[in-house]
């Protein structure tokens, strides 16, 4: 046992390298060709398949699975990429259990859906491993479009625009492109630098220039972008993190979960990453699960996720919750934080149990904590943006904002769920609308 394994405080090196490697390996390992053939055979090739309708990008799932079953995974990959150029990442991070696989008729029939996510990964991995980019750029149109944010929405939008012959410049605030794919998803979902490789593969379409380290509002304004380009797409994501609004929230050890995940994703050496012995994660979404599970995998002895409502209201799917609990994360529901105790650094978080409608019960408890991750949601950051609605940029179905020539999509826009696949769909659809507008 490592000397640090049981020690209090936020410290690195709780686990040996082999335990870390084991914990952070591929959570859903890729299918072998034989496994893929067996899995693909289970697809019924439904008419007007429910899985297609359940996919925000409407991938023709029965067709691509049939293409796998008949020994042409490359063709399957093209079927996927035609609808979703980030089909490789979505195969890894989509909550398929609430999307395509939930709609699968075999879920109805035997509670065992066709493994659509893993089959999608099999197809897309096959084509990407061959380093084939299956699309060609149309003749140049001479139109210039600015895309703000190199996350899923921005990348999907940029690719579709570039494919249609437009010149695209992506302005991104971070050091590396990819957005939450690169900075915001649990490492075990996207191993071996996949996010980075995927962006490089996507850029093979040509006609896209990346400008990293250029933040909207800091280095460039929306007005400047509008003036210099024929259209602007905003895919900035949600830059700000919600606060607990409690005394003691500024104590050492109280951090935003998104920062922890980003740091972990960029860490060269996981053994050098400090983690608490007693970790409390506040929130019930995917970010909370990703933070809690990864804290455990780094060697935290006690990790507790606390959510203010019941399990069924959590944004993290039941499968994600089960993943957390099987990794040793304890989930406490119907409790809200009321105080952060400590002397300089956090020592305890005090909670109060609440009813489903959040009415306080008066019953309180404390959790020992040397590290606390806040994961209670993010919000739009920035000024001089188009008109908002419920805290996000208001958009039409095609992604048009209140400002002429400016489209928006992904988490920053008031569209669908805050999912990678939804961002891809919105970026793609906005690109189609921009193209239509510019070539009318």
Binding footprint of other proteins on the chain (CB under 8 A): 37-38, 41-42, 44-50, 105-106, 108-109
Minimum distance, C-beta of residue 32 to other proteins, in the bound complex (Å) = 14
Minimum distance, C-beta of residue 91 to other proteins, in the bound complex (Å) = 23
Cβ burial, residue 218 (10 Å; 0-12/13-18/19+): exposed
Tokens of 3: 């000397």
Q: Which is nearer to other proteins, 37 or 63 (CB)?
A: 37
Distance CA 272, CA 153 (A): 33
- Per the rule left: phi > 0, alpha: psi between -120 and 50, beta: everything else, 288 is alpha
Minimum distance, C-beta of residue 122 to other proteins, in the bound complex (Å) = 16
Distance CA 352, CA 368 (A): 15
Q: Which is nearer to other proteins, 49 or 208 (CB)?
A: 49
Distance CA 64, CA 102 (A): 18
Minimum distance, C-beta of residue 137 to other proteins, in the bound complex (Å) = 33
Minimum distance, C-beta of residue 29 to other proteins, in the bound complex (Å) = 20
Q: Which is nearer to other proteins, 49 or 306 (CB)?
A: 49
Minimum distance, C-beta of residue 38 to other proteins, in the bound complex (Å) = 5
Helix 286-298 with 318-326: angle, nearest 10 deg: 10
Minimum distance, C-beta of residue 421 to other proteins, in the bound complex (Å) = 22
Minimum distance, C-beta of residue 34 to other proteins, in the bound complex (Å) = 9
Q: Which is nearer to other proteins, 10 or 105 (CB)?
A: 105
Q: Which is nearer to other proteins, 44 or 365 (CB)?
A: 44
C-alpha distances in angstroms, 199 versus 77, 111, 120, 228? 16, 35, 18, 25
Q: Which is nearer to other proteins, 108 or 396 (CB)?
A: 108
Q: Which is nearer to other proteins, 25 or 38 (CB)?
A: 38
Q: Which is nearer to other proteins, 36 or 413 (CB)?
A: 36
Minimum distance, C-beta of residue 49 to other proteins, in the bound complex (Å) = 8
Minimum distance, C-beta of residue 87 to other proteins, in the bound complex (Å) = 24
Q: Which is nearer to other proteins, 49 or 369 (CB)?
A: 49
Q: What angle do CA 311, 314, 316 make, to 5 degrees?
A: 115
What distance separates the 2 farthest-apart alpha carbons in the chain? 68
Q: Which is nearer to other proteins, 112 or 228 (CB)?
A: 112
């Amino acid at each position: 046992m490592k000397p640090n394994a049981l020690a209090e405080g936020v410290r690195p090196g709780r686990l040996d390298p082999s335990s870390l490697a084991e914990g952070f390996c591929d959570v859903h390992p890729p299918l072998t060709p034989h496994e893929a053939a067996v899995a693909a055979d289970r697809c019924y090739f439904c008419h007007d398949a429910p899985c297609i309708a359940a996919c925000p990008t409407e991938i023709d799932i029965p067709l691509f699975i049939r293409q796998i079953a008949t020994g042409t995974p490359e063709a399957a990959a093209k079927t996927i990429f035609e609808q979703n150029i980030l089909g490789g990442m979505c195969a890894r991070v989509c909550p398929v259990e609430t999307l395509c696989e939930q709609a699968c008729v075999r879920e109805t029939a035997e509670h065992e859906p066709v493994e659509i996510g893993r089959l999608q990964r099999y197809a897309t991995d096959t084509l990407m491993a061959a380093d084939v980019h299956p699309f060609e750029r149309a003749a140049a149109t001479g139109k210039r479009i600015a895309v703000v944010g190199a996350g899923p929405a921005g990348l999907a939008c940029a690719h579709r625009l570039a494919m249609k012959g437009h010149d695209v410049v992506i302005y991104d605030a971070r050091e590396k492109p990819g957005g939450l794919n690169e900075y915001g998803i649990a490492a075990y979902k996207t191993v071996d630098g996949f996010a980075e490789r995927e962006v490089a593969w996507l850029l093979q379409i040509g006609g896209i220039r990346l400008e990293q380290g250029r933040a909207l509002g800091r280095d460039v304004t929306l007005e400047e972008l509008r003036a210099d380009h024929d259209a602007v797409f905003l895919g900035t994501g949600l830059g700000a993190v919600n606060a607990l609004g409690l005394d003691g929230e500024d104590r050492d050890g109280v951090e935003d979960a998104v920062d922890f995940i980003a740091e972990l994703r960029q860490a060269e050496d996981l053994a050098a990453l400090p983690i608490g012995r007693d970790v409390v994660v506040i929130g019930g979404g995917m970010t909370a699960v990703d933070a809690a599970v990864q804290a455990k995998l780094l060697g935290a002895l006690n990790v507790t996720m606390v959510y203010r409502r019941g399990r069924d209201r959590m944004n993290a799917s039941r499968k994600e919750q089960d993943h957390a609990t099987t990794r040793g994360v304890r989930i406490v529901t119907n409790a809200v934080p009321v105080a952060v105790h400590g002397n300089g650094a956090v020592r305890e978080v005090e909670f109060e149990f609440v009813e489903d409608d959040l009415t306080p019960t008066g019953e309180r408890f404390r959790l020992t904590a040397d590290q606390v991750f806040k994961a209670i949601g993010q919000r739009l950051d920035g000024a001089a943006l188009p008109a908002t609605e419920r805290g996000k940029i208001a958009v039409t179905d095609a992604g048009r904002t209140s400002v002429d020539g400016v489209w928006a999509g992904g988490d920053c826009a008031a569209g669908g769920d805050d999912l990678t696949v939804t961002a891809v769909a919105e970026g793609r659809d906005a690109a189609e609308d921009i193209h239509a507008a510019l070539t009318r």
